Structure 1
Amino acid sequence: MVAGEASGDLLAGLLLEGLKARWPDLHTQGIGGPAMLAHGFESWWPQEKLAVRGYIEVLRHYPEIAGIRRQLKQRLIAQPPALFVGIDAPDFNLGLETDLREKGIKTVHFICPSIWAWRANRVDKIRAAADHVLCIFPFEPDLLAQHGISASYVGHPLANVIPMEPDKAAARSKLGLQDDDAVLALLPGSRASEIAYIGQRFFDAAALLLKERPGMRFLLPAVPAQRERLMAMARVSGLGQSIQVLAGQSHAALAACDVTLIASGTATLEAALFKRPMVIAYNMHPLSWRMMRRKQLQPWVGLPNILSHEFVVPELLQDAATPQALARSVLEWLDSPERIAGLQQRFEAMHHSLKRDTAQLATDAIEKVLES
């Protein structure tokens, strides 16, 4: 298995629960993070080595990443596993899966690359790479079937982990927050490259909000590798005692907050499942941005908007993601309880559509691949 970032690690950890239940003696290895390690996974390289996003950013790290993939391929071909499962990370995993499949190793790709949003040309790569694709959105298997790709809808694992009605009061109590506090969760991403481009804007927006609402509280879930960097940014913005830095605990932050200021990615879907209004923001190297925009097939970037087929939450991207604009959009949510109530109804319907026994369905599909 290979999971190249924090969101993939979480998904893989949930998948491993089902696999271990079906095959208690299963041995899993490759590249993974803490959620996978908790299930006895053996990681040959630190997951952070692959956690890079953006064309220019990847180019900087390409020699090391290519070297890891080359060594991993050689190791797997020399000692073939019963199955290789690539968890997302299509730029890394699809090429690896193709090479392994050509050597007779069966492959499953977990999470269909977003060919419906951008880079539709990837469909040929998927067909060559995967014996089967595990899809987390209900419309994807039919789309893949049109291109001759075997796939199953297994639901989104997070829809089973996140309660339909999150306990906001309990989450606040655990974090030492009062029921009447105005609370913003800051989620600027888990990758160093993401934080470099968007992090300071988030903290500067929080500083503006603090001036507008002096009693406001801020929650910052931080992965260990980025904790010091994020805390330094918070100090520069002068947030002082108003910000609470958490060791991970993004779900606790989302459960406790009123609104979240959040980087585009899987975390936006988590926020939707927590039924929280959000302001989605993203910024990357200008050249990476221009290249990505040319390949974008839909007007939305955030998953809640993509799944809703409209802008149900604001997206402030690239030059539009100024601290002033971010702060203003957060205040608009805080001042619009009726708008929030309508959004929560939509997010509840979305949650129901994504809630399946993912571990069971994924394990069933994997068993069929192994038996084929």
Structure 2
Amino acid sequence: MVAGETSGDLLAGLLLDGFRDRWPDLRAGGIGGAQMMRRGFQAWWPSEKLAVRGYVEVLRHYREIVGIRAQLRQKLLADRPDVFIGVDAPDFNLDLEADLKAAGIRTVHFVSPAVWAWRANRVEKIRRSVDHVLCIFPFEPALLAQHGIAATYVGHPLANVIPMFPDQAAARRQLGLQADDLVLALLPGSRHSEVAYLAERFFEAAAHVRRAHPAIKIIVPAVPALRAQIEQAAQVAGMQAHVQIVSGQSHAVLAACDVTLIASGTATLEAALYKRPMVIAYNMNWLSWQLMRRQQLQPWVGLPNILCEDSVVPELLQQAAHPRALADAVLLWLASPGKIAALQQRFTRLHEELRCDTSRLATDAIQKIIEG
């Protein structure tokens, strides 16, 4: 298995629970993180090595990433697994999967590359690279079938982990917050490059919000490896004395908050499953943004908007993601309880649509692939 970042590590860890039930003597190894290792996974490289987004940013790490892929390919061809599962990280995994499939190793990709949103030309590469795709959104298998790609809808694992009705009071007790606190959560990303481009402006936006609501509690869940970088951004923005930074615990933070300012990515879907109003933001290298924008097929980048097929939450990208605008969007949510109630109803319907027995469905599909 290869999971390339924090969100992939979380999804792969949930899959491993189902695999252990079906195959108690399972041996699993590859590239993964803490969630996978907690389930007995042997991480030959940490998932953080692949946690890079954007064309220019990848170029800076290209030699190391290609070297890791070459070493992993050689290792897997020498000690052939029953199946290889690439978890998201398509830029890394699809090339590796193509080589393994050509050598007769069965390949499964979990989380279909979003060809319906970005880079439709990936379809041919997916067909060449994988025996089967495990899809987390219900419309994907039919779309892939149109291109001759076998796929199974397995639901989104997080829809089973995250409660339909989150216990906000318990989450606040866990984080040392009071039941009646007004709480803003800042989630500036799980990659070094995301934090570099977003954290300082998130803290500056929070300073604006704090002027309107002086008693507001501001809490930031930090990937442990990025905590020092986030603390430095808070200090530069003059907010270090006014924020609570916690290691991990992103789910508790989302359950506890009233609104979140959040980097575009998987975390936005987690926020939707927690039924939280959000402001989605993203900023990256200018050249990377220009290249990505040309391949965009949807009018939105945030998963909640894409899945709801509507602008249910604001998205502020690139130049639009400046602190004052971010703060204004957060303040608008705090002044709109009726809009929040309607949003929570829509997110509840989305949660119901994504809830399946993911571990069993995924394991059944993989069993068939292994049996040939």
What TM-score results when the alignment is normalised by the length of structure 1?
0.99
Letter in 2 for 1:333: W
What's the CA shift for 1:176? Answer: 1.5
- 1:83-162 correspondence runs (5 A): 83-162=83-162
Q: Distance in 1 between matches of 2:240 and 2:30?
A: 41
Q: Which amino acid aligns with 2:165?
A: E
Provide the C-alpha distance between the structure 2 equivalents of 1:8 and 1:147, rounded to a whole number of angstroms. 25
Matches within 5 A, 1:1-372: 1-372=1-372
SS in 1 for 2:219: strand
SS in 1 for 2:196: helix
**Please, what is the CA RMSD of the aligned residues?**
0.7
1:368 is paired with a residue of what secondary structure? helix
| Displacement of 1:242 | 2.8
Which consecutive unaligned segments of at least 5 residues does structure 2 have? none
1:208 to partner: Cα distance? 1.2
Superposed displacement of residue 47, structure 1? 1.3
Residues 313-354 of structure 1, C-alpha deviation per residue, up to 9 Å, x if partnerless? 000000000000000000000000000000000000000000
Contact 2:231–2:240 (CA under 8 A) maintained in structure 1: no
Tell me, in whole angstroms, the C-alpha distance in 2 between the residues paired with 1:345 and 1:287.
Answer: 38
**1:216–1:242 CA contact under 8 A, matched in 2:** no
Deviation at 1:243, TM superposition (A): 1.1
**Partner secondary structure for residue 260 of structure 2:** strand
Alpha-carbon distance in 2 for matches of 1:296, 1:233: 30
Deviation at 1:238, TM superposition (A): 2.2
> CA 1:240/1:95 → structure 2, altered by over 3 Å: closer, same or farther?
closer
The separation in 2 between residues aligned to 1:94 and 1:174, in whole angstroms, is 40
Deviations 1:227-265 (A, max 9, x none): 011011112222244311111000000000000000000
Alpha-carbon separation, structure 1, partners of 2:200 and 2:245: 15
| C-alpha distance in 1 between matches for 2:81 and 2:287 | 39
Counterpart Cα distance in 1 of 2:317 and 2:3: 26
Identity of aligned residues (%): 67
Contact 2:107 2:132 (8 Å CA) reproduced: yes
* AA aligned opposite 2:291: M
SS in 2 for 1:94: helix
Specify the code of the residue in structure 2 equivalent to 1:266: T
Amino acid at match of 2:88: D
TM-superposition CA deviations, 1:161-200 (whole Å, max 9, x none):
0000000111111211112211111000010011111111
TM-score between the two structures when normalised by the length of structure 2: 0.99
Could you tell me which runs of 5 or more consecutive residues in structure 1 were left unpaired when the two chains were aligned.
none
